[in-house]
Amino acid sequence: MAHTAEWKVRLHLFEDDDGTTKAHLVLDTGTTALTAGGTAHRHPADPDVPEIGDELAAGRAMIDLAHQLLETAERDVQGIAAPG
């Protein structure tokens, strides 16, 4: 059985005044939406390189999303395997 799907991901990055970069990620499967988040904190003594904060916050948001997807899949498998 062939199957194709397209899921859309939106990633929003923003930095606040204290040097914290936040990532908000939304995965839209067409039937379900999952949200995830990540942060990165710049030490005041570190140079201000926004790209590094973006990379860290986005990566952490993606890890959060990955955990959610794996947990969802595990629940779905258990639901299918459970005797009816």
For 20-64, write each residue's pLDDT tens digit: 999 999 999 999 999 999 999 998 899 989 999 999 999 999 999
**What tokens were used for 22?**
């936040």
The pTM of the full predicted model, rounded to 2 decimals, is: 0.88
Candidates 3.20.20.450, 2.30.40.10, 3.40.50.2300, 3.30.160.240; CATH matching 8-81: 3.30.160.240
Is 84 strand, coil or helix?
coil
CB atoms within 10 A of CB 41: 13
For the chain, the domains span 8-81
Q: What's the rounded Cα separation, in Å, for the pair 77 and 82?
A: 9
